């Protein structure tokens, strides 16, 4: 792994689209793009952790000017070779602190990526950084899981999220620190590979407080991109905070 790319270096980037194929399906991508295009309006969109362009490319095809931030040059290289990828500006850096020129109508962070910031301080810094880049009335959108702690019986700290004949994925939780990590084992042609990524899980109410510290306020919270009601049974949420127009 190239340390400059964090946990998403060449080895992960080379198979990222394939390993996350379900997230590239049109019925997953299009509802997200619908929401983000509506929020962007005639303004610009900023994607934190733009990766290989799963959301940025179809959003740009809607006529939205998209700029991205990402630490992984390997992931961005995959974006660049896709149709339209060379027309999207990308700044290499940490999305919690990297500064951009100009302002944006919407900034967004999808697919649990807020949890790639592994301390509360970094997550708070991300909200403040986004607030600095939003136009008055602009929106910050996060898509993230609700911590799945109800699946942990006493004494257990592992929750499987993918199990089949060639791939095993499980999350490890530390409920004392909100630290967690995802572990991936893949078997191909009789040979196994393993990689893991650290995270920090975060509660919806905690995100709301981070937003408040950054001068943002909650506008909407849904179960998903189709704007289903968020309930106590929701296992994920899409939340929209806005920067006051005044």
Of 127 and 6, more confident: 127
DSSP state letters, 93-120: S-TTT---SS-EEEEEE-TTGGGGS-SH
Burial letters 205-241, b for 16+ CB under 10 A, else e: eebbebbeebebeeebbbbbbeeeebeeebebbbbbb
Position 188 scores a pLDDT of 85
Ranking 10-14, 48-52, 146-150, 204-208 by mean pLDDT, the lowest is 10-14
Query: In which element (H, E) is residue 88 found?
Result: none
Q: Are residues 229 and 207 in the same domain?
A: yes
Position 181 scores a pLDDT of 96
- Structural domain total, the chain: 2
Could you tell me which residues are beta bridge partners of residue 92?
70
Over residues 95-121, mean pLDDT: 97
Q: Are residues 158 and 114 in the same domain?
A: no
Q: Are residues 96 and 183 in the same domain?
A: no
Cα distance between residue 69 and residue 104, in whole Å: 13
For residue 64, what are the domain limits?
A: 3-146+202-242
Asked if 117 and 127 count as a contact pair (C-beta separation under 8 A), the reply is no
Over residues 121-143, mean pLDDT: 98
Q: Are residues 97 and 164 in the same domain?
A: no
Cα distance between residue 168 and residue 166, in whole Å: 7
Residue 114 predicted with pLDDT over 50: yes
Q: Are residues 166 and 92 in the same domain?
A: no
Ranking 13-17, 84-88, 124-128 by mean pLDDT, the lowest is 13-17
Position 63 scores a pLDDT of 98
Give which of 81, 15, 79, 10 is closest to 47, Cα–Cα: 79
pLDDT band at 2 (very low <50, low <70, confident <90, very high): very low
Q: Mean pLDDT for the chain?
A: 94
Q: Are residues 67 and 132 in the same domain?
A: yes
Q: Are residues 110 and 210 in the same domain?
A: yes
Cα distance between residue 10 and residue 36, in whole Å: 29
Position 140 scores a pLDDT of 99
Span 155-178, pLDDT tens digits: 999 999 889 988 899 999 999 999
Per DSSP bridges, beta strands 167-174 and 158-163 are: antiparallel
Q: Are residues 60 and 179 in the same domain?
A: no
Residue 207 predicted with pLDDT over 90: yes
Q: Are residues 135 and 180 in the same domain?
A: no
Q: Are residues 193 and 208 in the same domain?
A: no
Cα distance between residue 167 and residue 112, in whole Å: 20
Q: Are residues 94 and 140 in the same domain?
A: yes
CATH number assigned to the domain comprising residue 123: 3.40.50.150
Position 4 scores a pLDDT of 62
Position 19 scores a pLDDT of 76
Q: Are residues 89 and 191 in the same domain?
A: no
Per DSSP bridges, beta strands 158-163 and 134-145 are: unpaired
Eight-state DSSP code of residue 205: H
Q: Is the pTM here over 0.85, yes or no?
A: yes
């Amino acid at each position: 792994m190239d340390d400059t790319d964090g946990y998403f270096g060449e080895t992960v980037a080379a198979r990222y689209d394939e390993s996350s194929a379900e997230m590239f399906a049109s019925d997953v991508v299009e509802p997200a793009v619908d929401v983000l295009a509506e929020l962007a309006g005639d303004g610009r969109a900023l994607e934190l952790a733009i990766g290989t362009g799963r959301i940025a490319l179809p959003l740009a095809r809607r006529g939205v000017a998209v700029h991205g931030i990402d630490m992984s040059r390997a992931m961005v290289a995959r974006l660049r070779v896709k149709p339209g990828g060379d027309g999207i500006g990308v700044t290499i850096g940490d999305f919690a602190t990297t500064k951009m020129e100009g302002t944006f109508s919407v900034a967004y962070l999808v697919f649990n990526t807020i949890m790639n910031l592994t301390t509360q301080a970094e997550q708070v810094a991300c909200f403040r950084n986004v607030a600095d880049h939003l136009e008055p009335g602009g929106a910050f959108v996060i898509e993230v899981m609700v911590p799945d702690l109800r699946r942990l019986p006493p004494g257990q700290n592992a929750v499987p999220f993918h199990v089949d004949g060639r791939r095993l994925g499980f999350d490890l939780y530390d409920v004392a620190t909100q630290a967690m990590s995802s572990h991936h084992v893949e078997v191909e042609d009789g040979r196994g590979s393993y990689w893991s990524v650290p995270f920090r899980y975060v509660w919806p109410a905690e995100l709301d407080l981070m937003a408040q510290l950054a001068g943002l306020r909650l506008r909407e919270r849904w179960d998903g991109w189709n704007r289903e009601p968020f309930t106590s049974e929701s296992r994920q949420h899409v939340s929209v905070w806005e920067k006051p127009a005044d």
